[in-house]
Amino acid sequence: MDLIGCASYFIPGIGEGFDLVWGVIAGLVFRSWFHSNLWAIGAAIEEIAPFTDIIPSFTIGYLVTRNSQNKSLK
């Protein structure tokens, strides 16, 4: 998912328009996967904001979720 967000850098001319559409989609997918409205809004804003596509929001969400699940098992 993070690679899709970075794809706008490789498509000259339509990158920012793609980010507007992808930001909404990324927020919805993030909400579905991680069940957090706050993180979903943050992911959508990160994808829409210029020059922030390099931040791996889905990877960070996965690692935070995995870490919190590991702590709850202990």
Per-residue confidence (pLDDT) for residue 52, from 0 to 100: 84
Predicted pLDDT of residue 41 = 94
Q: DSSP secondary-structure letter at 10?
A: G
> Does the pLDDT at position 65 exceed 80?
yes
Q: Model pTM?
A: 0.80
For 6-59, what is each residue's pLDDT tens digit? 877 777 777 778 888 989 999 999 999 998 899 999 999 998 888 887 889 999
In the block, residue with structure tokens 């690679």: 3
Task: Scan for tokens 């000259």, then name that residue.
Answer: 12
The CA distance from 11 to 18, in Å, is: 9
69 compared with 32, residue with greater pLDDT: 32
Long-range pairs, 8-17, Cβ under 8 A, ≥24: 8/53, 9/53, 16/50
Whether the pLDDT of residue 73 is over 70: the answer is no
* DSSP H helical ranges for 1-74: 2-6, 15-34, 37-48, 57-73
